[in-house]
A and B are shown apart, each in its own frame.
Chain A
Amino acid sequence: MSIELLKQLDHEIRRLFVAGSKLASGDVRLAKLLPALGQIGQSSPVFARIAQAVEQTIDPNTERSSAKLLELAVLIRSILYTQGQTELAGVQTPITGTDHFPITSLPFRELNPVLLALTVKGQGRLEVIHQAHKDGIFRDYRLLIPAVTALDESYSEIADYLEASIIPQYGADALPVLQQQFRPDGGRGHARRLQLIHRILGRSGIQLYEHAAATGSLEVRTAAIGLLGHYPEQEPFLLEQADERRKEVRRAALLALSNGYTSKASDRIYGALISKDRELAVEAIRQSSDDSLRRRTIDFAAAMFDQWRTGAKQEEALDQLRTALEALRGHRTTGLLELLRSLLSDPTFFTQDTSQLQETAAQLLLSLDTSEAQAFAVSLKDTNKNKLVDYSLRAAVRSLSPTEVYDQFHGYFAKGAGTAAAKLLSGVFHSLLPSVYARMTDEAGRAEPVVIDPRWGDIFIKADIAELVCRTAHKPNGAIIRYLKSKCQESKTGLGNDVAVNACLALFHIGCEEAPEVLMNDLVPKTRRTIYYLNQAQLLLLGLLPASYANRLASFAEEAIPYESVRKQVAEVADWVRTRPQDEQRGWVQWITSRMF
């Protein structure tokens, strides 16, 4: 066959290119091909030319062997170019195509960065994908396959985002691609594909899930087991899987069983709770739709508590108790209050070993959110050296009037802010009351503000907790203004001191007329020359100055700030202050947020 002969020649030429054309003279392997070439050459002039070129190449007397070899190579290549096969052997089957796939055509400039983000490694890709999703670029069908392929991405945030937000928007159109790419023995990416297939196919894909659950890789298997949990008839299989050798599979199976179609499933989860697998059962019990399982867990916890009290296998019992309590989070199961009551009202419960458990129990107690539970929580305020007083305060704020809360709790600050109880209570106030910056910029949102007794202000001043004074300050009042001013004056670093900045913000917030003077006299001049950045609170504060202070601020920026970007920041603020319309604060807040962009 002449094609074979040409290929053979091409191969020999390649060999000579690698070895060097100076070895071509008298080359035996090329010479061997000559007779065959000559024979075909008699009927085909092209082959006669080839034969001639080969002869010239291997001729020992030739001068420029390299040129001859190149000539021969050019000739062979040219001929091979004309011999390309175009017919595919086999049966033709038409492709079916889709009937409703929306096709949009985006230009190169928009599409290319997203394609690169999906296919090439490097930083900053997640932002590109986020933005593209926001701009609707993923509607372009050319991104479907790269998006599905990128589920294997090792940058897991990208894969998560694709799975949760992007691929689902293609709906059923993504199915063929997902199915085509899915391999049961694949890794995490294939588990994601299976989840997505399930979202589209639902029950009709049950065979695929069964197959994956039985034969897949660990990741795929656990995902498939999770999916099978949606179908009651799969319970026997899941029960089987709950006894699997591998922990991950057991965990997935227990979770899948938490749908609790029959008592067998709950029994199995309970069995895990009381065995060494108890950690695996925690999530399953939390998710379980079977309330009786949680009641059994309560009974079990009570039994473990008894066992602990009697002193047998104390460590084990404590651990069991801990897991049982963890498993009870998130539900208001009947009987839980009684269990917690029995734990927390037992003085022997408060030992060093159980400190973690005490917290868990108190958290569960608060989460019950009933007046009975709250009253009990408040009553715990003096147990165990006030260790649970913070929970008591939280319960009290929810259930009692501000005056009652004040009456019951202000005494803990009598010895100043340093006592353990005062520290715990300060922490609660911190989390309940928004900061002065948040209040002024609406960052606190529309969450219902917690109302507290105004007398707390004096308590905090006495205890010298500046932050809480700022947070509680609402109306101008002599003592509060004095206190806040003193905080501003005490600052040695001017604007560099957060306490002072907040105190000054609070002065502005309560409408104290001296606030601008305090700011310009006590804070601004003392600011260290090394300041290299102004944060949002500091910017807000400077922007609150009335227009008449603009020039002072500008000259301060010019004279006292060596660092250029800060100087620019302050100069911009001065500009703003000068031109701002009267009483306009909202625009300033927007300006700050845009600068922090």
Chain B
Amino acid sequence: MISITEAYVDSVALNAAASKNGRDLVKKNSFPLLCRTEDDTLLFGECKGSGSEPYRCSADFLKPEGPIFRCSCPSRQFPCKHILGMLYAYAGGKPFAVAEVPQDIQDKRDKASLREEKKKEAGATEGSEEKPRRRQTNKSALIKKIVAQLEGIGLADKLLTGIVQSGLGGVDKKAVQMMADQVKQLGNFYIPGIQASCRALLLELQTDGDRESMYTAAIPHLTVLHSLLKKAKEYLERRMADPDVTPMDTASVLEEAIGHAWQLAELKELGLVDNDAALLQLSFRSYFDSSREEFVDEGHWIRLGTERIHMTRTYRPYRAAKYIREEDSQFQLVQIKELFVYPGELNARVRWEDASYCDPNSEDMKMVQSQARCSFSEVVKQVKNHIKNPLSDKHPVLLLAYREIVSVNGQYALVDEQGKQIPLADISYLNHATTSLLPLLKQDDLRNGAMLVMFEHDFQRNALSAQPLSVVTGQGVIRLLY
């Protein structure tokens, strides 16, 4: 059985509130019965709830890599606080009486092993056959969908044209209300990405306060939306003409921007899978994206052995946020057999199913440091080339090798071997200051290190600057964000 520590239970919990609730149950002595089996593969117990019957919860570690949690409570949050509380009680050294496996759990175990065997048998007979079949797409259904999408794009285009023609100055409450209705209607056309872009524009128009700053904030949304609609229309028309000649676009983020949610199976079919990758998280954050009405847990990772900075994103819809695991900072090195890479450019999004974890050693850290980008002039060129594309992510993240961190007239900057600078600043997109932490760094870390930064172009000052997210030292990653 795996060792159950508080940290392990924390990682199992969906979010911080769940682990707090679990801990409180232990504090309140809500477990009249706590048992474990002789071989420690099963923990089970009873927890007092509000009803007359206690909840019966158990944690089955028969397969340590995939423990099975069960509880008789009706909570949709899973693992629920009762299971977490029982695990905390175990981690905290509460006495667990040795007992036999209860009959109901034994039945479930038997059933599971039976299923397993059947699967194996089936696998053995199928193993001789061909590799997994390609999924067939129904062509007429696809064309029907594209027609709907094009119709939606036409609607969005009308909306955009309306705003631009009559001008932002004329947008009043009534107009905004009308637009909100139209944006809502876009939900019927399989273009959630475009709908989110429209909603982002709408949110800017809805902001109360200074009109002038509203105009400044809204205009970039207009241009982005225009480019998106234009590209999407061209692409979908081409695809409608013959889906076989024009396959799904994997060179850019266009499909995702229209609103396609890539499935792992699709990515696999398209060959967007890498084998045996090791990723180290360099930075993490979680924010609420009001245009998507979702929480976004975003991690930036370096893939060992390459210069690539990948991104992970977990979307938690606002209404279901409680029931989806809230991601957290990950300090361990993640070894992945199958790494799915989404179509993308500088920071392609990745996902994985199974992974093993280990603590990074100093060799790994050295490797990461050596993968940092050395030439700032090349980096700047690449970043500018990237962000000038209307649909690209305007805030690319890169790992930079620096000779030193300096201060110029009160502003910080990174300097590379050639003496080239990249100014460091707190960018408005992140809305979380980190540059003020730089003077707290150790002297050694201020020289010849590697720093993960996020870029932003400031139109007002016509300047490209970067915000420090983390510093990679020989000992580990110093996180300036999370």
Contacts and interface: CB of A to CB of B under 8 A. Distances in A.
Interface stretch (A79-87, A153-161, A249-257): A79-87
Contacts of A64: 161
Interface in A1-43: 3, 7, 10, 13-14, 16-23
A122 interface: no
A193 to B, nearest CB: 16
Interface stretch (A94-102, A396-404, A516-524): A94-102
A84 B462 contact: yes
Contacts of A83: 462
Contacts of B408: 88-93
B167 A21 contact: yes
Interface in B363-422: 376, 380, 384-385, 387-390, 404-409, 411-413, 415, 420-422
Interface stretch (B146-154, B201-209, B221-229): B221-229
Interface stretch (A137-145, A342-350, A426-434, A476-484): A137-145
Nearest to A93: B407
A112 interface: yes
A595 to B, nearest CB: 7
Contacts of A144: 440
B174 to A, nearest CB: 16
Interface in A51-89: 64-67, 69-71, 73-74, 77-89
B170 interface: yes
B442 interface: yes
A84 B464 contact: yes
Nearest to B168: A18
B443 A98 contact: yes
Contacts of B482: 107-108, 111-112
B223 A86 contact: no
B213 interface: no
B303 interface: no
A90 B462 CA distance: 18
Interface in B168-205: 168-170
Contacts of B376: 86
Given A86-B423, A107-B329, A112-B286, A74 B227 contact: yes
B222 A73 contact: yes
Contacts of A113: 16
A515 to B, nearest CB: 27
A390 to B, nearest CB: 43
B412 A95 contact: yes
A109 interface: yes
Best-buried of A3, A20, A81, A111 by chain B (most CB within 10 Å) = A81
A105 B165 contact: no
A14 B441 contact: no
A103 B459 contact: no
Given A95-B407, A105-B478, A142-B480, A597 B27 contact: yes
Contacts of A73: 219, 222-223, 226
B463 interface: yes
B167 A20 contact: yes
Interface string A191-202: 000000000000
B477 interface: yes
A231 interface: no
Contacts of A13: 219
Interface stretch (B246-254, B288-296, B431-439): B431-439
Binding site secondary structure of chain B: mixed
A88 B164 contact: no
Binding site secondary structure of chain A: helix
A92 B407 contact: yes
Nearest to B439: A95
Contacts of A95: 405-407, 412, 438-439, 446
A16 B222 CA distance: 13
Interface size class of B (residues with CB under 8 A): 35 or more
B216 interface: yes
Contact of B443 (A82, A86, A97, A108): A97
Given A14-B215, A109-B10, A109-B16, A74 B390 contact: yes
B458 interface: yes
B294 to A, nearest CB: 17
B442 A103 contact: yes
A533 interface: no
A535 interface: no
Best-buried of A95, A96, A98 by chain B (most CB within 10 Å) = A95
Contact of B284 (A21, A108, A591): A108
B52 to A, nearest CB: 9
B220 interface: yes
B446 A20 contact: no
Nearest to B446: A97
Given A83-B462, A597-B27, A97 B477 contact: no
A17 B222 contact: yes
Contact of A82 (B166, B388, B404, B407): B388
B445 interface: yes
A211 B431 CA distance: 36
A250 B329 CA distance: 53
A594 interface: yes
Contacts of A107: 328-329, 331, 482
Nearest to B410: A90
B437 A20 contact: no
Contacts of A91: 408-409
A66 B229 CA distance: 14
A384 to B, nearest CB: 54
A443 interface: no
A7 to B, nearest CB: 7
Contact of B477 (A14, A81, A105): A105
Contacts of A105: 329, 331, 476-479
A97 B442 CA distance: 5
B349 to A, nearest CB: 19
A19 B408 CA distance: 41
A94 B437 contact: no
Contact of A594 (B27, B405, B441, B459): B27
A111 to B, nearest CB: 6
Contact of A108 (B329, B388, B441): B329
A96 B412 CA distance: 12
Nearest to A106: B329
A95 B445 CA distance: 11
Contacts of B422: 86
Contacts of B284: 108
Contacts of B351: none
Contacts of B215: 14, 17-18
B437 A145 contact: yes
B28 interface: yes
A173 B437 CA distance: 12
A464 interface: no
Nearest to B413: A88
Nearest to A87: B421
B409 A20 contact: no
Interface in A111-146: 111-113, 141-142, 144-145
A581 interface: no
Contacts of A7: 462
A568 to B, nearest CB: 8
A354 B461 CA distance: 74
B285 interface: yes
B166 A99 contact: no
Contacts of A96: 439, 443
A109 B423 contact: no
B15 interface: yes
Given A22-B167, A108-B285, A109-B329, 5 more contacts: A20-B165, A70-B164, A80-B457, A82-B388, A92-B415
12 contacts: A65-B165, A80-B457, A84-B458, A89-B408, A90-B409, A93-B408, A94-B407, A97-B439, A99-B442, A103-B441, A594-B29, A595-B28
Interface of A: 3, 7, 10, 13-14, 16-23, 64-67, 69-71, 73-74, 77-101, 103, 105-113, 141-142, 144-145, 173, 176, 591, 594-595, 597
Ordered nearest first, which 6 A-B pairs have the shortest CB separation? Answer: A20-B167, A84-B464, A66-B164, A107-B329, A70-B226, A108-B482
